[in-house]
């Protein structure tokens, strides 16, 4: 079923997008730093781990590095950036793009999206040209912590792209079709509280991507994540979520349209892990 879905979406992509656009898209990319991101299991509470890591991703140095990198993408100096790393060639991740196109086709070629934890718009800049070439009308709303949202409003907002610092700020936007959580759930103090708040909204689809799960375990595990300085020198608390627990939650409220192996695959010592993405439809 999954292979058929991708085959159909790739066919649609080729029909909708001019051949010249297809030709200029390359799967090759600048390598990420060879030193892997490291995770160490901790018995600390989330609050204590957050305090110990000096507020982690709220640090201004991370914001400035992300801003400086993505401005180069916005200004056309680089075709793509992710997690402050700049790439010399356009990179598309087809499971995510296929999900966005699928929802767009279901919604009369309109994509009203909440990008929860979407930084300064890296996923928007990654996919907007292809979506527009396919005739999709975009209304992209990023929800971020206050300092990122304010930076986004000042440097990156446009007619398609808006920034907010609370999910309540987008409650008055009509016809939201999808909520995207890409590499977000592990970095929330209470991931299921956020999922519950999204579930209560009138949003038909949820995309969960770049999320690492524990296989064959019942409980989530809290870790301290150490990011290589080549990306940015920081550490912060991060969950490895129990896949069994997650699927039990999802199956109560959503249908899984399909799932995929995510771009990110991280290890945790003495545990079996897997990075996955999901396209979910609310029942």
Helix axis angle, 122-133 to 94-106, nearest 10°: 60
pLDDT at 10: 55
Q: What is the mean pLDDT of the chain?
A: 86
Give the structural domain span for 24. Answer: 2-282
When pLDDT is averaged across residues 174-200 and rounded to a whole number, the result is: 93
* Structural domains in the chain (count): 1
pLDDT at 255: 97
When pLDDT is averaged across residues 80-101 and rounded to a whole number, the result is: 89
Residue 19 has pLDDT above 60, yes or no: no
How far apart (Å, rounded) are the C-alpha atoms in residues 204 and 195?
Answer: 13
In angstroms, how far is CA 188 from the centroid of its own chain? Answer: 13
Residue 233 has pLDDT above 90, yes or no: no
When pLDDT is averaged across residues 190-206 and rounded to a whole number, the result is: 93
Q: What angle do CA 180, 147, 141 make, to 5 degrees?
A: 30
In angstroms, how far is CA 195 from the centroid of its own chain? Answer: 14
Cα separation values, 85 from 46, 152, 186, 192, 264, Å? 27, 18, 20, 29, 14
pLDDT at 32: 44
Residue 63 is given by DSSP the state H
CB 237 within 8 A of CB 254: no
pTM equals 0.85
pLDDT at 166: 87
For the stretch 27-75, pLDDT in tens is 333 444 455 789 999 999 999 999 888 655 556 888 898 999 999 999 9
Residue 192 has pLDDT above 70, yes or no: yes
Helix axis angle, 191-199 to 243-253, nearest 10°: 10
CB 243 within 8 A of CB 213: yes
The CATH number given to whatever domain includes residue 90 is: 3.40.50.150
Residue 143 has pLDDT above 70, yes or no: yes
């Amino acid at each position: 079923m999954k292979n058929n879905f991708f085959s159909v979406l790739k066919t649609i992509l080729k029909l909708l997008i001019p051949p010249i656009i297809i030709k200029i898209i390359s799967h090759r990319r600048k390598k990420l730093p060879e030193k892997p991101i490291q995770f160490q299991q901790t018995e600390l509470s989330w609050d204590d781990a957050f305090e110990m890591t000096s507020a982690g991703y709220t640090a201004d140095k991370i914001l400035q590095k992300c801003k400086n990198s993505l401005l180069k993408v916005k200004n056309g100096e680089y075709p793509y950036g992710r997690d402050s790393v700049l790439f010399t060639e356009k990179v598309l991740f087809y499971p995510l793009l296929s999900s966005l196109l699928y929802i767009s086709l279901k919604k009369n070629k309109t994509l009203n999206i909440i990008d929860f934890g979407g930084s300064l718009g890296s996923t928007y800049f990654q996919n907007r040209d292809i979506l527009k070439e396919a005739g999709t009308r975009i209304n992209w709303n990023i929800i971020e912590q206050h300092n990122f949202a304010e930076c986004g409003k000042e440097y990156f907002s446009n007619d398609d792209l808006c920034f907010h610092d609370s999910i309540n700020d987008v409650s008055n936007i009509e016809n939201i079709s999808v909520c995207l959580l890409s590499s977000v759930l592990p970095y929330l103090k209470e991931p299921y509280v956020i999922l519950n708040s999204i579930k209560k909204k009138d949003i038909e689809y949820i995309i969960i991507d770049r999320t690492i799960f524990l296989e064959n375990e019942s409980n989530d595990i809290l870790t301290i994540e150490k990011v290589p300085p080549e990306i940015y020198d920081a550490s912060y608390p991060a969950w490895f979520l129990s896949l069994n627990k997650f699927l039990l939650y999802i199956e109560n409220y959503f249908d899984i349209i399909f799932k995929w192996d995510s771009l990110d695959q991280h290890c945790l010592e003495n545990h079996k892990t897997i990075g996955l993405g999901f396209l979910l439809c609310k029942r």
